[in-house]
Structure 1
Amino acid sequence: MRTTAKTSKIKRYMTVVNDTRTADKSTDLLETLLASKSKADKHAKEVVALAEKYNFTGVEIDYEQIRDNLSLWKKFLVFEKALYARTKKAGLDLRIVLEPPTPVSKINFPKRPEYVVMCYNLYGYGTNPGPRADYKFLKKTVKDFSSLGKISYALSNGGFDFNGDEVTSVTGSEALKIKKKYKAKAVRDKKSGALYLKYGSHTVWYADQTTLQLWAKTLDKASGKKVGISIWRME
């Protein structure tokens, strides 16, 4: 991959996830990759080699569903330290994505990498209808992760279409199409800034540009400073 003068200053991260061909967010995969210190270092070496091969400027690790598995977190920290050493030597940035349920108070995360905390899916698959985030959830997330060093936050546009036990992910533009098709009225929720509308037996909750701006301001205020924001996902 070649870079031009116009794009050479843009940071390009290679995101690594723990998905397999048969399972999403596989902790079994992580148990295998990080089973020992030597295996964790081997995995770190392979990640950095791949990032260098394709001319990325940084690595982003998005390993999910570890939740309260402290034994696996211990192995992850060994990997993270090995990866940080290798990315630093290679001149690559390192970013670690964390889910809201991460038991931060029980894990001694290194201060040097950047951490990106997912601020969404408060409601979604397997829950009652509701927004992907609300103000209370965002403030709690900032408080829970305040012990980390360099930290930014990820917000999600779009939302979900709830119909009984059936839940379908929708983008912002898809929600607008539903609104137009069924001539539904969208109402902005005071506790979250998100929009919701109803058609038939369905309830659709989603975030628009205004919602994202309100969420970002909430995070800024709770953090006491301007914070970095990532958006999942761009349409």
Structure 2
Amino acid sequence: MKIAESHPRRRVAVLSTVIAAIMLYLFIQDVFGAVKKQEETEIITERSAWLADWRWEAGTNDLEVVAGGLTSLQVFAAYFDESDSLLLTDKFREAMPRIKQLAEQNELNDLYLTVVNDIKYPNDTDSQKNTSLVTRLVADWESRSRHIDEIIAALETFGFTGAELDYEKIAEEDWPKFAQFIHELDYRLQKKGKSLRVVLEPRAPIERIKLPKGPAYVMMAYNLYGGHSGPGPKADAAFIRKHATRMKKVPGNSYIALSSGGFDWHSGTGKAVGITEKQASELATRSESTPERDKASGSLHFEYNDSDNVKHTVWYADGTTLSQWIDAAKAKGIQNIAIWRLDELGSESLEQLRIQPGYKIE
């Protein structure tokens, strides 16, 4: 009888154990499901912008408004002299106290010095995006080391937390050496506790060149139309999505760079002049019609006649445009945005940059 009486008790015990195991399993699934959902929907976004030395007064006016919404600022100010040595302009030195003051006031701790492959000559002429300069800089270990030493010295002298390379029109045969230079510079910077960003123009062969891990890479998703073409937007959604997709082949933390302002095309010469958003808005007052918004790009465009009665065509970006472009990049998985550049932005554009970066909850 005792044996017979023990069977129900064992069944109850087994059933209780099973129920407890199921409840534990469901609890664990809930926890892991919540974590997975959090990982999928909470994405840290970064927002950066450039400030150019030749327009530093207008740039710092915009920086005063948006500094709190930026995670980093790139000071576009390092060039080369005719001996291939780094050249920092007088305007840069004049601007730095104000830039550092605004950065400190807004806890904007990441300041990058942007180095561009432009040569400036004593007679006030320059050679922009000089291909042969890059060839010489990355030619061998000695030339690369000398260049790295100069970059680090400039960062330490002026208190930058990192360097950014904006080398364009790189010769096809120089890309392997340039990639090696990136690796060597990043290694040296990390030892100094500093960071590296590398700007890539749309023509960069990122599909076939293995770029080193470590730096942040920034794809220029603009200049679809510009000084090299007839009238049109600096970018459209399809152009941005295309290059955002390409960045999946690049290691590390990727950015899409977007451009503020626009261009003014002269119908007589066919030449285009870069203009700021504020300048575009002022020119629009000369137009007989209200600026129209292009559906594919979100850009505004209009025509006006100058004092000589010559027709001009203007295309430019405003805050609505930037918002659409940012959404196009995010649709392809790029959350980090860089803006070229702080310079007479409109109120809506400034508001886009004032948005505090952080977790995006969907």
Q: TM-score, normalised by structure 2?
A: 0.61
Q: Name 2:355's counterpart in structure 1.
A: none
Runs of 4+ with >2 A deviation? 1-9, 181-184
Which structure features the higher share of helix residues? 2
From 160, 165, 170, the equivalent of 1:56 is: 160
Identity of aligned residues (%): 39
Q: Name 1:191's counterpart in structure 2.
A: 296
Could you say if the C-alpha distance between residues 36 and 213 of structure 1 is closer, same or farther in structure 2, counting changes exceeding 3 Å? Answer: same
Distance 1:189 1:27 in 2: 35
1:9, distance to aligned residue in structure 2 (A): 5.2
Are 1:26 and 2:125 an aligned pair? Answer: no
From 207, 213, 232, the equivalent of 1:105 is: 207
Please, which runs of 5 or more residues in structure 2 have no aligned partner? Answer: 1-95, 121-125, 306-310, 344-362
Distance 1:82 1:183 in 2: 56
Aligned length, in residue pairs: 231
**Structure with more contact order per residue of length (Cα contacts < 8 Å, sep ≥ 6):** 2
Q: Deviation digits for residues 121-150 of structure 1, max 9, x if unmatched?
A: 000012121000001101110112211121
C-alpha contact 2:303 2:313 (8 A) present in aligned 1: yes
C-alpha contact 1:185 1:198 (8 A) present in aligned 2: no
Q: TM-score, normalised by structure 1?
A: 0.92
C-alpha contact 1:45 1:83 (8 A) present in aligned 2: no
Q: Name 1:93's counterpart in structure 2.
A: 195
From 156, 166, 178, the equivalent of 1:76 is: 178
Indicate the SS of the match to 1:20. strand
Please, which runs of 5 or more residues in structure 1 have no aligned partner? Answer: none
Are 1:153 and 2:256 an aligned pair? Answer: yes
Could you say if the C-alpha distance between residues 176 and 7 of structure 1 is closer, same or farther in structure 2, counting changes exceeding 3 Å? Answer: closer
How do 1:1-235 residues align onto structure 2 when only pairs under 5 Å count?
6=105, 10-21=109-120, 22-66=126-170, 69-149=171-251, 150-164=253-267, 165-200=270-305, 201-223=311-333, 227-235=335-343
C-alpha contact 2:287 2:302 (8 A) present in aligned 1: no
Distance 2:137 2:289 in 1: 49
Structure whose CA Rg is larger = 2
C-alpha contact 1:122 1:133 (8 A) present in aligned 2: yes
